[in-house]
Each structure stands twice: as C-alpha cells, then as structure tokens.
Structure 1
Amino acid sequence: MASIAVYSVKGGVGKTTFAVNLAWCAASVSRRQTLLWDLDAANGSGFLLGVDPKKKRTAQSVFAADRSPTKLIQKTAYPNLHLLPADESIRTLDRQFDRIGKKKRLSKLTDALGKEYDRIIFDCPPVLNEISAQVMRAADIVIVPLPPSPLSARAFDQVVEEVRGSGKGHPPILPVLSMLDMRRTLHKEARAANPKWPAVPLASAVEQCAVMRQPVGAFAPRSPGARAFAQMWTAIERKLASKKK
C-alpha cells in the first residue's frame, strides 16, 4: 500500500481536481484497489465523483477510537475506486485530535485501510494545522499543485516547510504546474524554469469535470488534460517505486 497526499496551503489551485483524477488513474489505469479519502469539509471529491455523503454518520467519527472507517466508505461508479467522504464535521477534527492526544491517529487508520487498498489518496484541506501534520506523517508522497504565479511559489515554500517539519524520513514532494497556459508569458517562464515538473494544462475538458461530475479520463480520455493526469500518475508510481529501493 502507498498513500498519496494532494496538498496546498492555497485554495483554488486545482487540488480536488488533482485528487479525483489521480484516484481515477490509480483505479482505472493501474487497476489498483484505490481509496480516495476526502479531508476537506467542502466534500469536493464526493461532488466530482457524483457521491453524496451518508447523513447517518459523520466524517469526524472515523477518528474516534471505537469506530471503523469502513462504515463510512462508499462505492463510486468506477471499478476499484471507493470514497471516504467528508462533511462539515471535519471542521472540528483539529480540536478532536488535540483532545484525544494521538499524533499518529491518521497514520494508524491508513495502515489499517492498507489491508484492503493498494493506493490511498488524501484530498487535504488548504490549511496548516494538526490535520495537515497528521497527513504528512501518513503520506508516502505529497503532490503540490502550483498555478504559475509568485503567490503559488510562496505557497510551495510553506508546504515544503510543513512537510519537513513532520519529522525525520518526511515524504518526498512532487510539485506540479497546474492550469498551465503557454500563451501567457508568466506561464512560459514558469515552465522554462521547471521543465522537469509534471504539468496539467488549462483545458476546457478539465474544467468540465465539475459540470460532468466525472474524472476527465472517464468522459474525455483523449484530451490533453486526461493525458496529463495519466502521465503524472506514471511519474508518481515511478517515484513510489524508487522510494522502496
């Protein structure tokens, strides 16, 4: 099992779109048993996959000592892909972590879920708090979407600092240029400065994910956006493989 966190301290960078499309690639391209774990109260991942959270149990209850996360996991329309959805209760999770005093609660839950899943992908909230710290302890690799801008570069520096602060043996970080438009000078300069970074173009098919409520590979498999996510997933798998050696 390997766990992948999609994380940024800045909103509006395409984080949830990345998480959903990478999870779809893991399940549909690599055919791995995949869990997409939404830790953002907006439940964006559930929305993009057409899955609404069950109302009887809350996302926060997953972290209680006497609860099993499997009771909240929901199937999606795609083979091999399940969702652990979020809801508004996630907003109080930071206080719950402080109350139970367990610094590796998320990591232990991830290890337990690893008995059922080959890949676990976290859609993280855009905050710096105990939730993000716990995700960094659980993740094998951190994906950071970065639209080409000075503010995004600053946000990346904050992510690097957060990951390094998670302790020895912190996970590797893979920055990805998001919403890249090569018609813009700033974007061209960002691409020239980081030619080896994966990149996802500013493309209508990617934007349509929220309209179709599907991953781009499901409805536009030959589009530049779908190809970009597939290539990124290949790069992630390679990085995970090299990490094990």
Structure 2
Amino acid sequence: MPRIAGTSGARISKPSAAPAGATIAIYSVKGGVGKTTLAANLAWFAASLSGHRALLWDLDAAGGSGFLYGLEPKDSRLAEDVLLGERPPSRLIRKTSCSGVDVLPADESIRALDARLVRIGKRKRLARMTAQLAADYDRILLDCPPVMNELSAQVVRAADLVIVPLPPSPLSSRAFDLVLREIAGNTKRHPPILPVISMLDMRRALHRQVQEEHPNWPAIPYASVVEQCAVRQQPVGAIAPRSPAARQFAMLWHAIEMKLAGRG
C-alpha cells in the first residue's frame, strides 16, 4: 500500500460505530467544482486507508468517474436500465486497477432518467439499490450530477452523508444554500452534510479569507498533482502518495469516517 504523507503509512482504523455499507453522496448544484475528482479519490482512500470495499457509482452522464480510473465506456446504454431496476448492477460494475475499488459507470442513457423516475413513481429506488449493494460494499460513493430534480431528491434520500465541494467564491456560497434547501425539501430527517473547500489556492486573498471564515471545513488544495489525476487516470494517492494533496485527502477521509460514526 502506498505510504501517505502524514499517516506514517498506517491505515486509518475504522471507527467502531461507523455503519456498514454507508452511502456517501458527493453533490453540488453547481458544475465545475471538483466533484468527480473528489469522488474518485475518496473511493481510493476508502479502500487504501480504511480497508473498505468501495463502489464508485457514477450518476453523471458525462462519465468522468470511470475515465479517472482508466475505464473506457462500452458501446452500451445500460446505466438507465440499472437505475430503473430492469438490469442488475452486477451487469455494469467494473473492477479497477486499484485494489478494493469498483466502478458502476454512467453512460448517455441517464440524461433522460429524471423524467422516467417521475413517471414510475419509485421515490426510493436509489435508496433501495444502495441498500442492496451494501451487502457487497462497505462504502458506496455517488458521483452526482449538478441538478435539482427527481434524481437529486433520490440521492439525498439514499445518502448517509452528503459531501458538498465548494470552491472559494460567492457563487459557491449560493450553491451551498441551494443544496441545503434541496436536502431539507426532500427528506424528513436529512443526512449529515460535510462542506469541503475545493481547489483552494492560498496565494489568492479570497481563498485565504474563505478558509479563515470556515477553519473547521476540510480543504483540498488546487495543485498540479490533482490535475494529473485526469491525465494519468489514477488517484492522487496512487501517483503522489507523499504529496500535500494526498495528505489532505487522507485527512478528509478520516473526517468522513468520523462523521459516519457520529463523532464529527
């Protein structure tokens, strides 16, 4: 296992109260916030630091999560069928080169998924599917599209924790407020929410100000090694395990496990 800077090469122990088969949604109503990069990296850290079996479920038709693990899309349109219960998830799940990480990829068929979910009236379809997948996976990470519709409503009903990536900007603050309203409007008892400052550049005054205003929010730096994830199609922990970015991802994963255990 790659040694992560600041962790002495040791795995982060699983908190005893952390639920088995927890579903973690990485969600924002705003695009371009680093959502897919965050989801793909967290799946790797779930497996590498906590020893979990992790499933990265891509719900965004752009299919970025599979790409970041070097998985080329197959010539099929089955992702919608899986979500509609017409095919088993095992038909699409693919193993990655990273031990413990599988991907349930997206394809263009889910572009019209929202309308079909509304028509069939199954408001907890995604929650039931993640509960079934929890028999095989310790952590299920949902890479969510930047939408406010029936699919996003199903995401927040299924999630045990919602991660909201927020680049330091006034628009991100507005997007966070929209996420809070979306969650509150679609759940009776909403899941815990963990805002994460993404693409933090401490050379910029606004970024420093945002971090000073929210010192307890985890932060992922704007760094070339994070951009290299897309170029090399591997997570930060695999390509640069001793980098500051890898250390921040490890700290974020520990914060997530603490949240799931009810101690964060």
Q: More displaced, 29-38 or 49-58? A: 49-58
Alignment of 1:72-221 (within 5 A): 72-221=92-241
Identity of aligned residues (%): 64
**Is the 2:198–2:219 contact (alpha carbons within 8 Å) kept by the matching residues of 1?**
yes
Q: Report how far residue 31 of structure 1 moved.
A: 1.1
Pair 1:16-2:36 in alignment = yes
1:53 corresponds in structure 2 to 73
Aligned CA-pair RMSD: 1.2
* Match runs of 1:232-243 below 5 Å: 232-242=252-262
> Any gaps of 5 or more consecutive residues in structure 2?
1-20
How many matched pairs?
A: 244
User: By how many angstroms is 1:243 displaced?
Assistant: 6.8
In structure 2, C-alpha distance between the alignment counterparts of 1:117 and 1:152, rounded to whole Å? 32
Aligned to 1:70: 90
| Residue identity in the other structure for 1:136 | V
Q: In the alignment, is the contact (CA less than 8 A) between 1:37 and 1:120 conserved in 2?
A: yes
Supply the AA of the counterpart residue of 1:218: A
Would the aligned equivalents of 1:3 and 1:138 in 2 still touch at CA under 8 Å?
A: yes
TM-score of the two chains, using structure 1 as the length reference: 0.97
* 3-state SS, counterpart of residue 170 of structure 1: coil
Kindly indicate whether the alpha-carbon contact (under 8 Å) linking 1:57 and 1:72 is maintained by their aligned counterparts in 2: no
Q: Over residues 156-182 of structure 1, what are the superposed CA-to-partner deviations in whole Å (9 max), with x where a residue is unaligned? A: 000011111122111111001111111
State the Cα deviation string for residues 21-46 of structure 1 (Å, max 9, x = none). 00000011111011000000000000
Q: 28-37 or 52-61, which moves further after superposition?
A: 52-61
Q: Which residue of 1 aligns with 2:46?
A: 26
Aligned letter for 1:186? L
Letter in 1 for 2:250: A
Deviation at 1:64, TM superposition (A): 2.9
Tell me, in whole angstroms, the C-alpha distance in 2 between the residues paired with 1:231 and 1:243: 15
Q: What are structure 1's unaligned runs of at least 5 residues?
A: none
**Equivalents in 2 of 1:28, 1:125: separation in Å?**
26
CA distance in 1: counterparts of 2:83 and 2:224, whole angstroms: 38
* Separation (CA, whole Å) in 1 of partners of 2:249 and 2:75: 32
